Every structure is written in structure tokens, then in C-alpha cells.
Amino acid sequence: MDDCREPEQRALGPGPGRAPVGLGSVPGSVPGQGALPGDAAPVGSVQGPVALPERLAPSELAAPTPASGALPLQLPESATPAGPTPGPAALSAAPPAPPPPAAGFPDSIGQELQRRLAGGAPSRLAEAVALAAGHLHLLVGALRPSAAEFRQALGFLTELGHHSDARRQEWVLLADVLGVSALVEGLNAPRPRGATPNTGAGPFYRADAPDLALGADLSRDGRGERLRVSGRVTDLAGRGLAGARVEVWHANAAGLYENQQPDRQPEFNLRGRLRADGRGQFDFLTVKPGGYALPSDGPVGRLMAALGCPLERPAHLHFRVTAPGHETLTTHIFDRADPAIGRDAVFGVKPELLADFCARRTRSGAREHLLDLNLVLCPLARPGTDTMGGK
């Protein structure tokens, strides 16, 4: 059946009557994402949620200062340096009058750390460390982890590093599933009305994808239903941006990226960099991507499984578009019909990014899909806005 005879050029946006996409969680488990059968958890791996002390009410966990209920940490007697060495408050050389305890440093060690940080030149780094350490001390004071739990947390962080290399980035995955990547994108890349929204690049991006000619086939193994993509890169006024660079990468029909299967997919399968023509138009062939679940064989996957959180991602294509004088656009285009469209594990779905992958039959009877889209860039608005340009 041909249900997409003449795909219109359509802007990616919430059409009339389309409801915003909900981003609720999914009750129950995600197929294939549970604990690995017979897989003995390595030291430091996440084995289950950490129980909170019963005496802490939920409201106390959100308290920003010790006055609102956080439990102060005191340096244990056994940890205090012996002999004539002065206590923590005197560790700084001839400190001036100690500043009053600041919010975010509810314990004496944290307050000493603040004094040390305040001794250096003010900087963005010092500000970040002070704020991060303050929240970390508050967390420890509220959660009161045992020594074993602390070792488990350190082991988890160590395992994140062991699962990160040039092909896989477990740290990015952690930031994604905790919503931090989406939050940072939202804070740093607010787009004006009409511009295609930014999203995170995700953990499977490769900056070394090959340059391809317009009309090229991104599929190097030919597996999957054919997808024909056409589109244009424009500015906010709808003018085509000649020569814009369009990077594309996506999963195969089974929902797996080539860098997840280096032994089963050809190098750079379903990846490429195109150069739009003089009117900002581009097109390429590929195969229809499948939705997928984030990797469950690493520490992040085990963490989310232990928490009962979904790892699903609805089917999508990734794009990164650059054009002189415009902010780099990194975004997804999602298949509106995907059943997981309302429960994206990394919070990337936005109404403006939903598109129709129109199915039809070819003369030979094969099933293929058409996707037509506009990618709208906004001009460089302020210095430092574009952190990805030229990369």
C-alpha cells in the first residue's frame, strides 16, 4: 500500500491538533534490560538501591543548608591528626578571620575545604568545585553511607571509566539517563521560535565519519528496509544555507550502532557527512532505523535496571549541522509512530522533532520509507554560544 505518495516538505513542528509528547516513565521492566542471568556482579557494581536512613524525611534530603535538617558530619576522633598538629580549622597558614559557614558546606570538613578554596584566585573552576563539593557533602550527610556503600560507589565510578574508550562512552551514558545532558542542552542552547531544537549527541557519535556525495547510500551492508531522506538546511527566514555540512548517524534496523558491533557491522555503517547544495538541499539513502535500548551490559545499564527505569529509545536519526555564521545544530529526528516515543530514556524527544517516516511499496513490492525534513538553524547570537562549530 502506498500511503505516502507525495511527501510534502514539512517543517518539523507540532502540527495542528498534535498533542505534546509526554515524557513519563514506564512501569515494569524493559525487555532485555533486566539483570544479566548468571552474571555475577563485579566488585563495585550496582546491585540495588541504597536504603535511606529511616530517620530522614524526604524533605530533609532536599534541604540546602544544615539548618534545614541535614546531618552534620564531624571528623571522627581517630581521624584527627595526632600530636601537635593543629585541627582542621588551623590547617591554612595564618588564616584571616574564618568566614561564616556557607550554604552547601554543612560539616566542619566542608567548611575547611571552603576556606582552602577561598584562598586561591576566584575562578569558574573554584566556583564549580565549591558548589559540587558542597552538594556532595550535603548528600553524604543526608545519606550517611556505610564504608561498604562508599566503596561500592567508588567502584561504580571506577567501572564507568573501564567501560569508556574511543568507541564507547559510559560517562556520557550516565549523564544522559540522569537527564543531565538534556538539562545542559536546554540551558545552553535555547533556540528561537522556528529553529530546530538542539539535543545531545549521545554516546555513539563519531567525529571521523567519512565525507559522502549527495545521494549516497549510508548503508554499507544493505540490511533493512530502504529509507530515502531528503531535506534542506535553512535560516530562520527560510532561506537555504548553501554548502551547510550535514553529519548523519543512526542505528541499524535492529537498533544497534556500528561502534556497538565492530565485528558485525562494517566500519562507518550508517554514518556520513554530506555537503548541502547551493540551495541548502541534501538527500541520501539509508535503511530505516529501529528503536533500541541503551546498553545494559555496563554499570549504567545495571544501575537503571536496579532502579526499574526504562532504557528504551524510540527510533531516530541523529544530525549535526554546521553553516558559517550560524549556531551548530545537533539534534534527533524521531519516528512519530514508534511505540516508545513517550518514554525516551535520555529525555530527548520534543514535539518539534517528531517526523513521519512514510511507508510505501516499490514496483518490485519491496517496502520503503520516505522522510522529508527541514533543519532550521539560528544565527550566532552571542560569543561562546557555538561550542561545536568547526569540529
Q: Would you say 173 or 376 has its CB closer to Fe ion?
A: 173
Q: What DSSP assignment string belongs to 58-120?
A: HHHHT-SSGGGTPPPP---GGGSPPTT---GGG-SSS--SPPPPPTT--SHHHHHHHHHHHTS
Query: 313, 326, 336, 343: which one is catalytic?
Result: 313
CB of 320 to Fe ion, least distance (A): 12
Q: Would you say 101 or 255 has its CB closer to Fe ion?
A: 255
Distances (CA, A) of 181 to 110, 189, 201, 348: 28, 12, 9, 9
Question: Between residue 255 and residue 314, which ones bind Fe ion under the rule CB under 5 A?
Answer: none
- Kindly determine how many residues on this chain lie close enough to bind Fe ion according to the rule CB under 5 A: 1
Q: Would you say 177 or 378 has its CB closer to Fe ion?
A: 177
Binding characters for Fe ion, 145-184, by CB under 5 A (x = yes): ----------------------------------------
Question: Between residue 182 and residue 221, which ones bind Fe ion under the rule CB under 5 A?
Answer: 202
Residue 336 annotated as catalytic: no
d(CA 252, CA 258): 8
Q: Would you say 202 or 240 has its CB closer to Fe ion?
A: 202
Query: 137, 257, 271, 320: which one is catalytic?
Result: 257
Q: Taking CB positions, which residue lies at the least distance from Fe ion?
A: 202
CB of 317 to Fe ion, least distance (A): 8
Residue in 299, 294, 328, 324 with CA at minimum distance from that of residue 310: 294
Residue 326 annotated as catalytic: no
Q: Would you say 142 or 315 has its CB closer to Fe ion?
A: 315
CB of 36 to Fe ion, least distance (A): 22
A 10 A CB-CB count for 69 gives 16
Query: 318, 320, 326, 336: which one is catalytic?
Result: 318
Contacts of 192 (CB under 8 A, 6+ apart): 236, 378
- b/e for 338-361, b at 16 or more Cβ within 10 A? bebbebbbbbbbbbbbbbbbbbbe
Query: 191, 250, 316, 326: which one is catalytic?
Result: 316
Query: 292, 320, 332, 369: which one is catalytic?
Result: 292
Question: Between residue 346 and residue 385, which ones bind Fe ion under the rule CB under 5 A?
Answer: none
d(CA 255, CA 345): 14
Cβ atoms of 270 and 251 within 8 Å: the answer is yes
Residue 313 annotated as catalytic: yes
Instruction: Please give the residue ranges that form the binding site for Fe ion (CB under 5 A).
Output: 202
Catalytic amino acids?
257, 292, 313, 316, 318
